């Protein structure tokens, strides 16, 4: 199994928070996992993406040192290995982890080390995607993130992303950032077509994005959909997350299977294992309940392999591993 869209701070095993909070000196609102979960997990009746994003405040507060970032990445990699994944692209925003003086480079390298340590003894491979953040006053921080992606590309980092409140900070406002990324040959994906409409996806494609995070609202524009299919743009779809953020209102309305059947390069991902209270296995179970066939499931993994930010020779080796498990 492969997960191309997985946020570090939204996917930490809940029991790990007690260790992280103690290391950071952060007071937790509950003393056991059951009591802590409401602060980490978005409800099914979540009203919007903005409410969903509130669940990241506590995790981020517990990840402000090299030691806690290392432990978090190690713990997540161990969990992914137990889940049976062969490849995961974990993403995080290094600029959010500087409250106690870390540089972005220090934060990134701590996560890289943690992922490497956590996958020891497993067949799991990982890549790290660095997230720039939508905001009004963080241009320099985003440019620094892109610079770090360029410097560490192939040394643990595999790509760049843009995350955050899409409806408040439109994709079109970040053209400068991704022009620089393209000039540096940094692979990138952009969260688009989730809280904002088709124009957000169109802007991402105009920057040169070959992958789109979520992208569910591509169905609202026939010409755009035809372009996405023609160019085989990878759609990183996350069913449970989309239902929680109200990007899709009802489960049966989710377009993942329909888009796959139209020929779009759909992949299935978790987004945030803890915030969404899901796993890749749970996401697949939902798709099977909606009628996904064995052949369609194989196609999901083929799409994920093609879309992965990996050199071609590594994709070939990974493909052999995936086929052995199907």
pLDDT in tens, 60-72: 999 999 999 999 9
Is 313 part of the annotated catalytic residue set? Answer: no
Count of the separate structural domains present in the chain: 1
pLDDT at 326: 63
pLDDT at 255: 94
pLDDT at 251: 63
Contact 108, 94 (CB under 8 A): yes
Q: Residue 318 domain-assigned?
A: no
Q: Residue 68 domain-assigned?
A: yes
The active-site residue, picked from 144, 194, 236, 283, is 194
Q: Report the predicted TM-score, pTM, of the whole model to 2 decimal places.
A: 0.94
Cα torsion through 183, 188, 194, 200, rounded to 10: 10
Cα–Cα dist 269/94, whole Å? 22
Q: Which residue has the higher pLDDT, 53 or 219?
A: 219
Crossing angle of the two packed helices 66-83 and 104-118, in degrees rounded to 10: 30
Percent of the chain clearing pLDDT 70 (strictly above): 98
Percent of the chain clearing pLDDT 90 (strictly above): 76
Query: What is the average pLDDT across 117-144?
Result: 95
> Residue 293 is encoded by which pair of tokens?
């066939």
Query: What is the average pLDDT across 309-322?
Result: 85
Total Cβ atoms within 10 A of residue 54: 13
Print the domain residue range for 170.
2-309
Assign residue 227 the CATH number of its domain: 3.20.20.140
pLDDT in tens, 99-113: 999 999 999 999 999
pLDDT at 317: 82
pLDDT exceeds cutoff 70 at 289: yes
Q: Which of 170, 233, 228, 163 is nearest to 197 (CA)?
A: 170
Query: What is the average pLDDT across 269-297?
Result: 94
Contact 245, 52 (CB under 8 A): yes
């Amino acid at each position: 199994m492969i997960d191309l869209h997985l946020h570090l701070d939204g996917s930490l095993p809940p029991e790990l928070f007690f260790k992280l909070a103690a290391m950071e000196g952060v007071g937790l609102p509950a003393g056991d996992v059951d009591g802590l979960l409401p602060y980490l997990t978005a409800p099914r009746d979540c009203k919007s993406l903005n409410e969903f994003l509130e669940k990241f405040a506590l995790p981020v507060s517990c990840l402000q040192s090299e030691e806690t970032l290392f432990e978090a990445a190690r713990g997540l990699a161990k969990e992914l290995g137990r889940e049976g994944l062969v490849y995961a692209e974990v993403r995080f925003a290094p600029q959010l982890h500087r409250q106690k003086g870390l540089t972005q480079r220090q934060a990134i390298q701590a996560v890289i080390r943690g992922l490497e340590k956590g996958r020891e003894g497993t067949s799991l491979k990982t890549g790290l995607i660095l997230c720039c953040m939508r905001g009004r006053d963080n241009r320099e921080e985003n440019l620094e993130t892109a610079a770090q992606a360029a410097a560490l590309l192939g040394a643990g980092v595999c790509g760049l992303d843009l995350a955050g409140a899409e409806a408040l900070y439109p994709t079109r406002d970040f053209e400068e950032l991704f022009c620089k990324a393209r000039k540096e040959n940094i692979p990138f994906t952009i969260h688009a077509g989730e809280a904002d409409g088709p124009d957000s996806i169109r802007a991402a494609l105009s920057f040169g994005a070959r992958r789109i995070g979520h992208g569910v609202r591509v169905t609202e524009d026939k010409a755009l959909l035809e372009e996405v299919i023609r160019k085989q743009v990878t759609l990183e779809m996350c069913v449970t997350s989309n239902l929680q953020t109200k990007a899709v209102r009802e489960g049966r309305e989710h377009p993942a299977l329909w888009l796959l059947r139209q020929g779009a390069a759909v992949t299935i991902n978790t987004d945030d294992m803890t915030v969404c209270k899901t796993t890749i296995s749970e996401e697949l179970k939902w798709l099977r309940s909606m009628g996904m066939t064995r052949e369609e499931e194989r196609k999901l993994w083929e799409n994920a392999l093609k879309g992965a930010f990996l050199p071609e020779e590594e994709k070939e080796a990974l493909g052999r591993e995936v086929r052995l498990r199907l």
